[in-house]
Structure 1
């Protein structure tokens, strides 16, 4: 717990910038202390491609959450609660409470650069992880029951910084925004394709989002993969009914 002591000390000396710096430095020593002992795992730690500590990942994830929550000019308590439930389910109540105190500071006081954060994560995470992050950010934006244009625009901007293809972005967005052509967007095909192309697209997307491809013991990651897989299955069933397949 060195990181939390260092964060508190940094806050008293340099206010919030000092807290962030203290948290990062303290995390370094915590990681040294816990190396070889199994340690706690961040929700996406198992599928990063390069070295990125849980503390680094969490700070950047919190910052992205704050960007989306503030996108429409206000801070929604429902969206804040969505993030809180995520951290409780991932880290447990005690650690989540400590993390969420930092999150409150990030949301209410700090301006962060989406481009800087995404460039940092691009070098340290796999493409599939960034898709998972976009899905999570859409979940935050929709938590209050409405996906606003400003929120969609901000997530689209983040997707661009993440170097996510437009077709993958539209596929994930279609899982949250209802429209007549959503089933086709989720499968990443046009409505004019043949029946054989529909079946081929379904097989491709089912393989892409199948939970078995998520090689991790983390329940939060598994749940996210299962949700996306169900959306792919649902989209295919809608097209099947529409075409009589």
Structure 2
């Protein structure tokens, strides 16, 4: 798939608002780099549309019923660029993680296009609040949880999650209206502490067997891959990891409590 076809595929609300402005600026940079010696676009490429003031339009579009795969993909690219810069250092392992995750989800060609846009987005100064406000208003809760899970994966790619990265992801989760309990649940999936299983299931250590069973049913439903089926098979696969960690947490407590 060509870059121009990829960026126009399956994108709905993300063409407007602050996200649309960020993508437009990134596309402008990419198109400029791809132009020929005469200053015109290469064959098959076209300039992103600009307003009269020369700025990319950020006019919001009508919200679709559900977030499309392309909207999720673009949101992921922007938030990933924010997290990677949180500790003041773009570690190559984190960049490799982003590329590998996109390759696993989308295949090599689509991943290459996404990573090209990602590198251009990473050079911008982005308002975390404005981006998250747009995502919160347009994206369902299950998809926002999936975004958070991916961001922790990026932060952990270099072997550990720094305090700066945790603070940045926590800030993002707050703007996305993700509760502290859900934040701690997903965060615990990336730590091997003694109470990780309890945090993943959002219960305390003094929970009864019945409470553990009830928590498992609740979290299994919340993190079930079918909740993000509308994003496409590629994102369902990513959601399977969260679902698997819930199952592992429950099995660990089954052994610990002997029930």
TM interval, short-chain normalised: 0.7 to 0.9
Cα deviation 1:127-146 (Å, max 9, x = unaligned): 11100000000011111111
Match of 2:200 in 1: 186
Q: Which has the higher helix share?
A: 1
The answer on whether the counterparts of 2:69 and 2:231 sit within 8 Å (CA) in structure 1 is no
Alpha carbons of structure 1 residues 99 and 215: separation in structure 2 relative to 1, 3 Å: closer
Higher relative contact order (CA 8 A, sep 6+): 2
Within-5 A mapping of 1:127-142: 127-142=141-156
Query: Normalised by the size of structure 2, how large is the TM-score?
Result: 0.73
Q: Does 1:91 align with 2:93?
A: no
Q: Does 1:62 align with 2:77?
A: yes
Q: How many residues align?
A: 214
Cα distance in 2 between the residues matched to 1:153 and 1:99: 26
The answer on whether the counterparts of 1:49 and 1:125 sit within 8 Å (CA) in structure 2 is no
The answer on whether the counterparts of 1:84 and 1:96 sit within 8 Å (CA) in structure 2 is yes
Cα distance in 2 between the residues matched to 1:71 and 1:50: 33
The answer on whether the counterparts of 1:78 and 1:144 sit within 8 Å (CA) in structure 2 is yes
Query: Normalised by the size of structure 1, how large is the TM-score?
Result: 0.77
Match of 2:14 in 1: none
Q: Match for 1:230 among 239, 244, 249?
A: 244
Structure 1 residues 172-181 or 133-142, which shifts more? Answer: 172-181
Cα distance in 2 between the residues matched to 1:52 and 1:132: 13
Cα deviation 1:38-84 (Å, max 9, x = unaligned): xxxxxxxxxx9647676655443222111111111100111111111
